[in-house]
Amino acid sequence: MKITVLLENTKPEGREELDAEHGLSLHVADENAAFLFDTGASDLFRKNAETMGIDIAETAFCVLSHHHYDHGGGLFSFFTKTVDAPVYLGSSTATEFFFKALGGLLRKPIGLDPAIFEQYRDRLVFVQKESEIAPGLHVLTGIRHNRPMPTGNAKLFKQQDGKLIPDDFDHEIMLVREEKAGLVVFTGCSHSGILNMLDSVTARFPGKQIEALLGGFHLMGIPLFNSMADSPQEVRALGEKLLTYPVERYYTGHCTGRKAFAVLKDVMRDKLAYMATGDVIEV
């Protein structure tokens, strides 16, 4: 399996031909097909793909991890570049989502463009229960919430019945690919909590080794300031806990934040790698 990071917040030095933005988009190719996991915040993922010689028109489908713009803002570009490729996404009790901070003085819509649901309804596949969307490729729903969810979620809301309420991330899904040597797991932002997501995977696939886990851990506070939502001690404790799971290697970035990544790296060493725009990961 070849995974190309079409878009992430950063890019390696010397890759001036690529652009980055706050978002995440991965191109995944194996012997069966090529598909996308998230589309970033705009059509930048497509431009980077063209620069790297990847034709989005040849992707079979897209999986959207959750209903936030920095993961689904590029859906219009995906729909226009492909003929009938579907987008798999979780169902939700709401369609409007917000970031709210500073006692409500800062309020920003962060959901998907409503026009997507109107113009491309026939290409949206709402996944309400675990589904095998391709041979060995599973979309998991109903992620366990036995452990605390990320502190940063406290600023994230959804609109329901005319009121803003804390987002419970019922719309978040995860993707699991069964390989001969083990599993490859895609988590998006891990708003449900990376430990809860790992618990969900290990419960669903008991005894299976996880070759790689890719996604953000949502440890960033306010993106503008690249702050950490938790203390260094709490992030270190998370890193120590991640080392207890049967995961060969973690690849993270985006909403994990550079500061939290540095703390995790000090704990997890070669078990953890940063994935930036333009990186290619072979699993």
Judge: domain 2-282, CATH 3.60.15.10.
yes
Pairing outcome for strands 272-274 and 247-252: parallel
The pLDDT value recorded for residue 225 is 67
Helix, strand, coil proportions of the chain in percent (round to 5)?
30, 30, 40
Sequence spans of domains, the chain: 2-282
The pLDDT value recorded for residue 236 is 98
Q: What's the CA gap between 82 and 89, in Å, rounded? A: 17
**Quick one: which of 87, 154, 149 has its CA closest to 123?**
87
Q: What's the CA gap between 217 and 193, in Å, rounded? A: 7
The pLDDT value recorded for residue 238 is 98
Per-residue tens of pLDDT for the chain, all 283 residues: 999 999 999 987 888 899 999 999 999 998 888 999 999 999 999 999 999 999 999 999 999 999 999 999 999 999 999 999 999 999 988 889 999 987 777 889 999 999 999 999 999 999 999 999 999 999 999 999 999 999 999 999 999 888 899 999 999 999 999 998 899 999 999 999 999 999 999 999 999 999 999 999 999 977 666 778 999 999 999 999 999 999 999 999 999 999 999 999 999 999 999 999 999 999 9
Q: Is the pTM of this model over 0.85?
A: yes
Q: What's the CA gap between 184 and 212, in Å, rounded? A: 5
Residues 6+ apart with CB under 8 A from 211: 179, 181, 182, 183, 184, 248, 249, 283
Number of Cβ within 10 Å of residue 79's Cβ equals 19
Pairing outcome for strands 97-101 and 156-160: antiparallel
* Helical residues (DSSP H) of 154-249, grouped into ranges: 194-204, 232-242
How large is the greatest C-alpha to C-alpha distance in the chain, in angstroms?
Answer: 51
Write out the H or E segment, with its range, that includes residue 188.
strand 183-188
**Quick one: which of 251, 283, 282, 279 has its CA closest to 6?**
279
